[in-house]
Amino acid sequence: MADDLYVNNEAAKGAPAAAPREGFKDLSTEHKLLGCLLKNEDPNGRDWREHQLSASQVKRYWDEGYLSNVPVLTEEQCDRLLEAYETFLDPDNLHPGHGLFYEFHSNQSGDPNNVLLHALGHWRIEPAFHDLCFLPSIAVPASQLICPSREPHPIRLWHDQLFSKPARHGGVVAWHQDYSYWTRTTPMLHITVHIALDDQTTENGGLHFVPGSHRWHRNGGMPLPITDASFRNMESIQNVLTDEEKAAFRPVPSGLKKGQASFHHPLMVHGSYGNHSDGPRRACVVNYIADGQEVGWPVLPSCLQS
């Protein structure tokens, strides 16, 4: 069956084994900024127009399939997010809200020599990650880019993600298109925002894009099949590419600096190599959908309530 091409066999492996601690508040019930990343300001009274992209930036996104190096966070905001991230790491002292993760993979690859921490749902658990999803510097550009009309459109949170690669043995994220994991939503109106919490380089496994690959699809607009949901086989996508796509497969590094974001199309082929540097490479991701999309089963709990 065609649907079998888009089955994520890894998702269930990351489901938390236990519920959150009794009395722990699920932040998905808060549908506004809490002020955690915008201290000393009215988080809901700012002039959001200062975060709008230029017409040339919007054009570049639709021409190439992505837009990179957009400043979205200050050094202080990044450090606040990293502090929150550190609370998730001790397996012997789980965060009291750990049971609210949609998925938490301490090492999705399963290979101790290629470690990739991958998590979804931390916006429900830590106020800093909650506010990241509502931050104007991220949400405003996303609303400008999400629709092919190139006109701003209301957006909703789809889900968030964390990716972390430890020093010297951080794992790869195999080439893929995000919409391959999201075909239960129609029409295809998504955008992915990848935010660097460390400078990203070719040595530490920074994000790469294949320009123009947002035009690669199958069977009237369907994405490429999922080729390795564990992410460990970097080049597995080559098995499903046409000769023309293989000839055009020329990845470029995002070159993201700490606090910068990239915005990419749901069909953009992207991935990242292993971390061979002496420091960690950490990033968070916010995925949005356009307001009004139809969502089929299964739906992540609370992911449409923002």
What is the per-residue pLDDT for 220? 84
**Integer angstrom CA distances of residue 53 from 61, 77, 182, 191, 266:** 11, 21, 26, 15, 19
pLDDT in tens, 191-247: 999 999 999 999 999 999 999 999 999 998 899 999 999 999 999 999 999 999 999
Q: Return d(Cα 41, Cα 162) in angstroms, integer.
A: 27
How far from chain centre, in Å, is Cα 209? 14
pTM of the entire predicted model: 0.94
Q: How confident is the model at residue 133 (pLDDT cuts 50, 70, 90)?
A: very high
Whether residue 298 is predicted with pLDDT greater than 70 in this model: the reply is: no
Whether residue 303 is predicted with pLDDT greater than 70 in this model: the reply is: no
pLDDT in tens, 226-241: 999 999 999 999 999 9
pLDDT in tens, 136-175: 999 999 999 999 999 999 999 999 999 999 999 999 999 9
Higher-confidence residue: 45 or 7?
7
> 146: which residues sit within 8 A by CB, 6+ positions away?
153, 155, 189, 190, 191, 288, 289, 290
pLDDT in tens, 69-120: 999 999 999 999 999 999 999 999 999 999 999 999 999 999 999 999 999 9
Whether residue 302 is predicted with pLDDT greater than 60 in this model: the reply is: no
CA-nearest of 109, 122, 288, 281 to 206 is 281
